Amino acid sequence: MKQVYAALNPTEAHLVAGLLEQEGIPSTVRGDALFTTVDGGGAVLGMRPTVWIGNPEQETAAKALIARYDRGEILAHPEDAPWICTDCGEHHDPPFTSCWRCGAERPH
């Protein structure tokens, strides 16, 4: 296992892991449950959720992909993409800016 990314929050960690999976790089998120236990306590160094890959030989490809993500080259236009309500999990098409089911605002 090799750590390739330290995310700001569990959502970002899973987003990055999903990007890696899309590129054929198996990955797992660690520390997201731990993060939940310190919710409200602010960011604690060493307790940020991290993304790990199973094959160290894919580290270069994984970091290149993450670098593109950090520069905004991936998901540069999230408003054009379908989204999922963070409150109730409902799936939505791009034109909707709030959840038709529970009324929550679209996450940014």
Instruction: Tell me which residues touch Zn ion (CB under 5 A).
Output: 85, 87-88, 90, 99, 101-102, 104
- 86-100 burial code (b ≥16 CB/10 A, e <16): eeeeeebeeeeeebe
* Least distance from Zn ion to the Cβ atom of residue 103, Å: 7
* Least distance from Zn ion to the Cβ atom of residue 62, Å: 32
* Least distance from Zn ion to the Cβ atom of residue 33, Å: 23
Which string of DSSP letters, residue by residue, matches 13-33? HHHHHHHHHHTT--EEEESHH
Which of 71/91 has CB closer to Zn ion? 91
